[in-house]
Amino acid sequence: MIENAPLPFTDDPLDRDFWINARQRRLVVQSCAACGEMRFPPRPMCPHCQSENVAWQPVSGEAAVWSFAVPAPPLLPAFEALAPYVTIIGALAENSGIRMAGLAVNADGDATGITAADIAIGQPIHIDFLDASEDCTLPCWRIGPRASAA
Amino acid sequence: MLKDRTAIVGIGETPFSKHLEASEFQLACRAIKAALDDAGIPPSEVDALSCYTYEETPEFEIARSLGMGDVHYLSQSPHGGGAGCGAVGHLALAIAAGIANVGVVWRSRKRGARSKRLWAGVQSTVTDHWKWSRPQGLLRPVDEVAVLTRRYMHEYGLTRAQLAEVALSMRAYAQGNPRALMGGRALSLDEYLGARMISDPLCLYDNCLESDGAIALVLVRADRAADGPQPPVHIHAFSQGMKAQHQLMTDYHSADPLRSSSWSCAANLWRQSDIGPGDIDVAQLYDAFAPLVLFSLEAYGFCERGEAGDLAARGELRPGGSLPVNTSGGSLSEVYLHGMNLMTEAVKQLRGSAHTQIAGAKTCLVTSCDTTPNGALILRN
Ligand SMILES: [Zn+2]
């Protein structure tokens, strides 16, 4: 849990399915049911074919670091308590044009204590999930590839 | 046509400070009155008003406090640092089209107090596009720009020592400007490299000032401008820019995130202009964060992609360089008013009355924020 952090509204029809899946520890990406193009962040209409028909496509959660920032205090109290922390923009293995921001977490699932020295652009990462509140689970990025046998 | 049909004939500025006693409303009135006095035009003649959507002094309060008469054109331009050139451009269009005769644009802001900072108001539940970045730890604009800067460093090899030149050159300009908040406070490369990080890779000196003040400009048609007390500064070309698939500040999702909305703005600006990048004598590039200056140098065609760090490191942004930039000290070292001081400095340069005057300056590019929907103006005297 991250106490008093700003959290996403998870009951918007536009992206409710993303958050429902995240609570079940699954990463899905909005895609067009007509032409198949993935898009992120979600929006009501496909920018390629203008269809409003949507599918939520499961993805592996394998990704690479596209970039990252290391915010330093003064920060909101919730994040001040977390510092040092890193926010990663990860590019999905299935579609490197789909890039998502997430807190970096270590092998124990902790977001705190991570520094710039632990991360490099291009490095493999994979999706993990952080229970932020009763109704919100935030996808986050675990450093390194998923252990294949695990 | 817009080209050279309107001119800026008055500028007004309050004192700049970390803290001013006067309210934003009072400051706005004082800046507008000063700009009208500079133009030699009474408030009763103002019939067009343009500001930022972020402006908190309502136009009807402004008009009835200053004693304006019937107003026929009201406009607002969106997105904070992206708004300044749009606010001026909209006014120029209205006047060139004959809808109105005398236009005022203003920005009044008290931001020195911690409670006034934008990110201090981050909501506990995020309903808009920020839900994809703020809960994930990118809380402030500086965090959002840090992401793009690190990617730029990775792709093009920009070093912190090269980036430092943006802050160092602007701090040097501030030493020549008695109104600059950072006047009398020289900055060395060692101090820059040793400064605390705000959002790695961006340090303290890569961030704009937090300050109070107000600025206003007066626009009229060019024929009337020729008869005014000040040398007119003509609006030669104007565009706004929002690229395909742009996302405000967190523009991480398009095909080429380092090709910002400035590129869209630049192409359409130069298309309308008789003046090209090589003819620009001085530039005022929006600089809430130092890397935005480098990104804008590339977008507006002053160098190739990835070369802006080298351009800066060669000293080209300084007096005597190929393109003096932010010659008042800019938002990093003069005052931060969402870029309106860049506009007044452009006017001063083209009047020949700037504190650090670029000899013979005839043309100036002014830009708004690289990482938002934005705008730009080409001004000439
Ligand atoms: Zn489609």
Question: Which CATH number do you get for residue A136?
Answer: 2.40.50
Confidence of residue A5 (pLDDT cuts 50, 70, 90): confident
Q: How many domains does chain A have?
A: 2
Asked if B199 lies within 8 A of A69 by C-beta distance, the reply is yes
ipTM computed for the complex: 0.96
pLDDT at residue A147 in the model: 77
Q: Do A65 and A47 reside in the same domain of the chain?
A: no
pLDDT at residue B253 in the model: 95
Domain endpoint, select from A42, A58, A74: A58
- Domains of chain B as residue ranges with CATH: 6-114+210-225 (3.40.47.10)
Q: Do A33 and A69 reside in the same domain of the chain?
A: no
- Strands B374-380, B233-241: pairing kind: antiparallel
Give the nearest partner residue to B127 out of A9, A67, A76, using CB atoms.
A9
pLDDT at A149 over 60: no
Q: Do A101 and A116 reside in the same domain of the chain?
A: yes
pLDDT at A2 over 80: no
Domain endpoint, select from A24, A43, A58: A58
pLDDT at B72 over 60: yes
Confidence of residue B167 (pLDDT cuts 50, 70, 90): very high
Residue A52: domain span? 10-58
Active site residue ranges of B: 286, 336
Q: Do A133 and A90 reside in the same domain of the chain?
A: yes
Q: Is A1 a domain residue?
A: no
Residue B214 dihedral angles phi and psi, to the nearest 5°: -145, 150
pLDDT at B164 over 90: yes
A75 contacts in B (CB within 8 Å)?
A: 139-140
pLDDT at residue A150 in the model: 44
Q: Is A124 a domain residue?
A: yes
pLDDT at residue A77 in the model: 86
Q: Do A54 and A43 reside in the same domain of the chain?
A: yes
Give the nearest partner residue to A71 out of B143, B151, B245, using CB atoms.
B143
Distance of alpha carbon B41 from alpha carbon B33, whole angstroms: 10
Q: Do A135 and A88 reside in the same domain of the chain?
A: yes
pLDDT at B265 over 60: yes
pLDDT at B209 over 90: yes
pLDDT tens digits for range A82-114: 999 999 999 999 999 999 999 999 988 899 999
Asked if A6 lies within 8 A of B197 by C-beta distance, the reply is no
Distance of alpha carbon B323 from alpha carbon B215, whole angstroms: 25
Q: What is the rounded average pLDDT of the residues B102-117? A: 84
Q: What's the gap in Å between A18 CA and the centre of ligand 1?
A: 18
Give the nearest partner residue to A6 out of B122, B150, B247, using CB atoms.
B122
Q: Do A130 and A84 reside in the same domain of the chain?
A: yes
Q: Is A70 a domain residue?
A: yes
Q: Pick the residue of B117, B124, B136, B245 with the most A CBs within 10 A to test the interface with A by mutation.
A: B136
Q: Cβ distance B181 to B334 under 8 Å?
A: yes
pLDDT at residue B124 in the model: 85
pLDDT at residue B17 in the model: 96
Asked if B200 lies within 8 A of A6 by C-beta distance, the reply is no
Interface of A with B (CB under 8 A): 4-9, 12, 40-41, 47, 66-72, 75-76, 79, 82, 85-87, 89, 97-103, 116, 121, 132, 136, 138, 140
Q: Is A74 a domain residue?
A: yes
pTM above 0.90, yes or no: yes
pLDDT at residue B121 in the model: 55
Q: Do A80 and A33 reside in the same domain of the chain?
A: no
Q: Cβ distance B161 to B193 under 8 Å?
A: yes
Q: Which two three-digit tokens encode residue B26?
A: 């009072």
Cα–Cα distances in angstroms (integers) from residue B313 to residues B149, B163, B308, in the given order: 17, 8, 8
Confidence of residue B288 (pLDDT cuts 50, 70, 90): very high
Mean pLDDT of chain A: 94
pLDDT tens digits for range B118-136: 555 566 899 999 999 999 9
- Over pLDDT 70: what percentage of chain B? 97
pLDDT at residue B334 in the model: 98
Which of B112-121, B124-133, B144-153, B171-180 has the weakest average pLDDT?
Answer: B112-121
pLDDT at A136 over 60: yes
According to DSSP, the residues that pair with A139 across neighbouring strands are A129
Q: What is the rounded average pLDDT of the residues B240-253? A: 96
pLDDT at residue A124 in the model: 97
pLDDT at B115 over 50: yes
Q: Do A76 and A23 reside in the same domain of the chain?
A: no
* 3-state secondary structure string across chain B: CCCCCEEEEEEEECCCECCCCCCHHHHHHHHHHHHHHHHCCCHHHCCEEEEECCCCCCHHHHHHHHCCCCCCEEEEECCHHHCHHHHHHHHHHHHHCCCCCEEEEEEEEECCCHHHCHHHHCCCEECCHHHHCCCCCCCCHHHHHHHHHHHHHHHHCCCHHHHHHHHHHHHHHHCCCCCCCCCCCCCCHHHHHHCCEEEECEEHHHECCCCEEEEEEEEEEHHHHCCCCCCCEEEEEEEEECCCCCCCCCCCCCCCCCCCHHHHHHHHHHHCCCCCHHHCCEEECCCCEHHHHHHHHHHCCCCCCCCHHHHHHCCCCCCCCCCCECCCCHHHHCCCCCCHHHHHHHHHHHHCCCCCCCCCCCEEEEECCCCCCEEEEEEEC
Q: Is A5 a domain residue?
A: no
Q: What's the gap in Å between A48 CA and the centre of ligand 1?
A: 5
Q: Pick the residue of A15, A68, A130 with the most B CBs within 10 A to test the interface with B by mutation.
A: A68
pLDDT at residue B117 in the model: 57
Q: Do A24 and A93 reside in the same domain of the chain?
A: no
Mean pLDDT of chain B: 96
Domain endpoint, select from A20, A36, A58: A58
Q: Do A31 and A89 reside in the same domain of the chain?
A: no
Q: Do A68 and A116 reside in the same domain of the chain?
A: yes
pLDDT tens digits for range A19-33: 999 999 999 999 999
pLDDT tens digits for range A35-47: 999 999 999 999 9
